[in-house]
Structure 1
């Protein structure tokens, strides 16, 4: 009996020890897992902190550089008069930038590296322009790997309007479902939005769309810079506007201050940077003089350049005629048997070309090549110009143009060009794409009118209009039956002139979000959509469209900074 009791007690002891061991192992395992999780959490926290530290350093470096450039007398106060002096100030193209250069300062203060990619990536002629593309970067630790956070910035003495996806220095009117896929919006005075969509029938009848066209929208990182946040909205569809007296007229009593309560509101704030404007005529004279070989950077031609560009009594057309008489422009000889395109393409391109139509209209139907050694040369046209591409193929235009008159673009066109127009510009029934990996920068002194582009086509995944479109006056854009996916931007400075078919000065956009079924060549059936990518006008701001045009861009006497998106590699 005692032996049985001893055996039971022995079994109990063994069982107890086994249970204790199991619990000990479980506790040890739990402790080990907890320690490992704590270590992983610590590593993750350190990785996140490392990334945010690098990101913050990059933002602070960009902000310091931007502040440095904000001085209105920046170039003069730093003694920068040539591109080589500009590079020396930045400290780029040096293995070890000095401590007094911007690259040296940003490296010492923030650990940020600065690399010049101007020529390597964009073929920018850095010996003759101030435009620079720079990569700011800083490494950070991600687990056992070292990664890099990077932001590409563009330093340019270009005017402010080139920073925005769309905008106006005066009034901005956005009717319907325009979508800003990338980039910021600017309104120098006030902005108006509505869910209406106006369009003009082929017979000229002004028509307000009968159905909710959607409200303007943008991505979360898009900033709407509106003066004093003066934004007004109307959601009464066909009552927001009325058509009469040859123009669409705003029903002011139906526009309430602020964004509609039931709509997604973008980030709206006052622009803190000064708006750097351009003088269109002065800019045009600058292009004429530099195209003719007279540069402010050359000691031999500097004085002549300054005297001529400062002569306010001489309009640009008179300057062009004078340069031709001096032999600095080559006249394009034409006759009834030879097409203009053939004459232009066969001409040597060692000088700018002067095509004098004496104020009459010239129509170009075929490819135009105004390049020398792969660089855009200038074609100067005295008269109205119509570039009419074919409907079943594409006409290619390479080279920069100055048009002393009106410009019309129609048909299928592929352009690598900067175009300056002293009159009005109209783009109708057209598909405009880039060529050679580049696009179009178009600047018009007169009004800009874009309509009937890719009519009744359904939205696609890729842009169908590559370029930046600016007018010194006002502009009206129609995308109801049309479909425009613009890679670049739209800006109407506004000068008091009313936009085409509108009662406001500035930029007026009419867009529908959804599908349109035609009836007798006009919008017949409206099928709305809540999908932003179904908008019939999408703006995707891309600063590369601007950088690619190099010397064709308008320039001012100040340097500004345009930042691209943050990248992690």
Structure 2
């Protein structure tokens, strides 16, 4: 190999130059990569910051819109909540209030009196009646068709807020009504509520003066006081149509939270039994244990104190007389002054002569307002067959032989022989038979006449409330009791069940359906005022409100709500009694389906579609008997309930009842269940009693699209 000077150094120089070029490219690539990463990170950070800012703006605008709603709702509550007001004037006052309130509202810059001191970026948009009369803007009850007699209204409040371009609009509905509070509870008492054992409630409870509860049902069997260990009561929210719990449901409302006690085992006697635990106090100071919460099914977490004076009570007698005033005719046609004068007369006449004097006054001085149905025709008595006709008939005597019949013992001379002597037994039998046949003929004629009269009466009962353009009938009717619905008269079905359509029963109302034969079920659809007692037995299909001054006995009844055209749920019976209410079953030891309340067939068999109220005290049992109500039960006085779970059977030989194992069962197997029915206001509406205080209920928030 020939060596050349400088050749090696040149090669090294070329290699070095190549390395430097590669390094430069690598550095440039890394700088570019890092720049891109930096830009991406910066972009993400800026985007996140912008999203965070927008999110904060959204949250701020929502909070400010909520603030606007709160201001408007506070003004509504200040004006109406718990205020004494004429229920017939509520619609007019709401119309005046919304008109005045909306006139104060300015534009987004805060020109209204309401927003004068508030930041300029939120405002109340409007407060309006949910339903208004076209043209006049007069407030109407939602879903009513415009009847001024409805006493439940709603206001729709709308507010909005804007923060740096983020605009949010919220809406909330406020319901105002003048219904008594008892209709808003599944179960309760203005007095002391005592619950022994394990009933199941879906809805709210009310314990005005306090609560006593334990895990042992008390009952009397064969005249001996006995107990059965069970569980504590269950209280859960009612489920809405979407299957989710209804807001504000499943609560225990009490006017005396310091008088809530629970304990274990039976407790005969009054007062606070030894060993009972103050429920609310332990819950407040945090000493109630998780085990105690579990065994009492979480009741400590759903207690809501409310001052007792805020509970809107009902005066049954006053409500009864109010409805008598309504029965005189349409108030808008009579005029408000005439109504008030008539109402004063009704009050004074009742005070002087009680119910008989009042009915006499109505028939005499207000005859044009009523169809006087007199009374039910008396049911003819079927004649009793005489004892002699129940026995084998005596031997009929042979006729005397003719004198010419020699072959048959005659003389053959043509001269008659003496007649055979009469048989006294036969004569008596023939006389009794003839008399009985005559009585039967008379009875059948009387029954034909009775059935004709019953048909006429049924037809008149079916025309109560009927009015046409050409024919104006009395709006109501009066009949002397007892009025008996049964095999002969099977229905009272008003043509119109409006505010001024009432049947006044001057005496007792007796509903005698046939629980075993659906063909003999009764139909009761109307508004009734009963001056005497009410008795219900067997199956009765109902859409009715009854106010009764006497006692009520519900024995072996199947009270089924009618489902009318357009209804999404069954109707019910609302029965409000001045006297006590008795709830009984004669065949009491029914077995329950293993699915319990989850069984549709079992619910159909057991459930009573009814709201029951007594102005007295009450004691109820779901131990041997099983009672499931779709509605509610409420008493003005003390209310005591005893209930167990599962099937109960009778061992008469050993003189005891046999219960299912209680610890392994749940609320669906309760023998006493009430599921609150919130449709009662829409269904019975104008027939329900009114009070002179307005109650407000706030609905859920709704975010509007814009």
- Aligned residue in 2 for 1:384: 508
Q: 1:250 Cα shift?
A: 7.7
Aligned counterpart for 1:111 among listed residues 125, 131, 138? 125
Compare the two structures and name the one with the higher strand fraction. Answer: 1
Unaligned runs of 5+ in 1: 243-247, 495-505
Distance between the aligned counterparts of 2:67 and 2:535, measured in 1? 47
Aligned counterpart for 1:166 among listed residues 187, 193, 201? 187
- Aligned residue in 2 for 1:241: 267
Contact 1:168 1:186 (C-alpha < 8 Å) held by counterparts: yes
Where 1:435 maps in the other structure, the secondary structure is coil
Contact 2:376 2:480 (C-alpha < 8 Å) held by counterparts: no
Distance between the aligned counterparts of 2:486 and 2:700, measured in 1? 39
**Residue correspondences, number:** 535
- Give CA-to-partner distance per residue, 1:259-278, whole Å, 9 cap, x none: 56411212332327533333
**Alignment pair present for 1:181 and 2:213:** no
- Aligned residue in 2 for 1:287: 323
Contact 1:198 1:206 (C-alpha < 8 Å) held by counterparts: yes
Cα distance 1:539–1:20, how it changes in 2: closer, same or farther (>3 A)? Answer: farther
Pairing of 1:222-371 with structure 2 (within 5 A): 222-236=250-264, 239-242=265-268, 252-258=273-279, 261=289, 262-263=292-293, 264=298, 265=300, 266-271=302-307, 274-293=310-329, 298-310=336-348, 312-326=351-365, 327=367, 328-332=369-373, 333-335=375-377, 336=379, 337-338=450-451, 343-347=457-461, 348-349=463-464, 350-357=474-481, 360=482, 362-364=484-486, 366-371=490-495
**Alignment pair present for 1:191 and 2:315:** no
- Give CA-to-partner distance per residue, 1:33-90, whole Å, 9 cap, x none: 3433444444444444444544554455344323322575555xxxx97466435434
Pairing of 1:417-566 with structure 2 (within 5 A): 417-429=544-556, 430-436=558-564, 437=567, 438-451=571-584, 456-457=592-593, 458-460=596-598, 464-480=607-623, 486-494=629-637, 506-512=638-644, 515-516=646-647, 518=649, 524-528=659-663, 537-564=672-699
Distance between the aligned counterparts of 1:465 and 1:60, measured in 2? 43
Distance between the aligned counterparts of 1:341 and 1:107, measured in 2? 67
Unaligned runs of 5+ in 2: 1-11, 106-111, 117-122, 132-138, 238-246, 281-287, 380-449, 465-473
Cα distance 1:564–1:70, how it changes in 2: closer, same or farther (>3 A)? Answer: closer
> If you compute each CA radius of gyration, which structure gives the higher value, 1 or 2?
2
- Aligned residue in 2 for 1:214: 232
Aligned counterpart for 2:543 among listed residues 416, 421, 438? 416
Q: 1:472 Cα shift?
A: 0.8
Where 1:302 maps in the other structure, the secondary structure is helix
Pairing of 1:33-52 with structure 2 (within 5 A): 33-52=44-63
Distance between the aligned counterparts of 2:114 and 2:678, measured in 1? 24
- Give CA-to-partner distance per residue, 1:465-511, whole Å, 9 cap, x none: 444322111223334566656454332111xxxxxxxxxxx122334
Q: Which is worse superposed, 172-181 or 452-461? A: 452-461
Distance between the aligned counterparts of 2:623 and 2:33, measured in 1? 74
Contact 1:455 1:482 (C-alpha < 8 Å) held by counterparts: no
Cα distance 1:568–1:173, how it changes in 2: closer, same or farther (>3 A)? Answer: farther
Where 2:313 maps in the other structure, the secondary structure is coil
- Give CA-to-partner distance per residue, 1:87-134, whole Å, 9 cap, x none: 543447x9x95449xxx9989974353233486743265423544244
Distance between the aligned counterparts of 1:32 and 1:293, measured in 2? 76
- Aligned residue in 1 for 2:173: 151
Q: 1:444 Cα shift?
A: 0.9
Where 1:372 maps in the other structure, the secondary structure is coil
Q: 1:292 Cα shift?
A: 1.9
Q: 1:443 Cα shift?
A: 0.7
Where 1:548 maps in the other structure, the secondary structure is helix
Q: 1:291 Cα shift?
A: 0.5
Q: 1:287 Cα shift?
A: 0.8
Where 1:36 maps in the other structure, the secondary structure is helix
Cα distance 1:373–1:64, how it changes in 2: closer, same or farther (>3 A)? Answer: same
Cα distance 1:71–1:483, how it changes in 2: closer, same or farther (>3 A)? Answer: closer
Contact 2:170 2:703 (C-alpha < 8 Å) held by counterparts: yes
Pairing of 1:65-80 with structure 2 (within 5 A): 65-70=76-81, 74=85
- Aligned residue in 2 for 1:89: 96
Cα distance 1:37–1:532, how it changes in 2: closer, same or farther (>3 A)? Answer: farther
Contact 1:288 1:320 (C-alpha < 8 Å) held by counterparts: no
Q: 1:456 Cα shift?
A: 2.2
Q: Which is worse superposed, 365-374 or 104-113? A: 104-113
**Alignment pair present for 1:17 and 2:37:** no
Distance between the aligned counterparts of 2:113 and 2:615, measured in 1? 39
Q: 1:288 Cα shift?
A: 1.1
Where 1:446 maps in the other structure, the secondary structure is coil
Q: Normalising to structure 1: TM-score of the pair?
A: 0.78
Where 1:31 maps in the other structure, the secondary structure is helix
Contact 2:98 2:127 (C-alpha < 8 Å) held by counterparts: no
Contact 1:225 1:268 (C-alpha < 8 Å) held by counterparts: yes
- Give CA-to-partner distance per residue, 1:145-180, whole Å, 9 cap, x none: 966543341322x33433444322211112334444
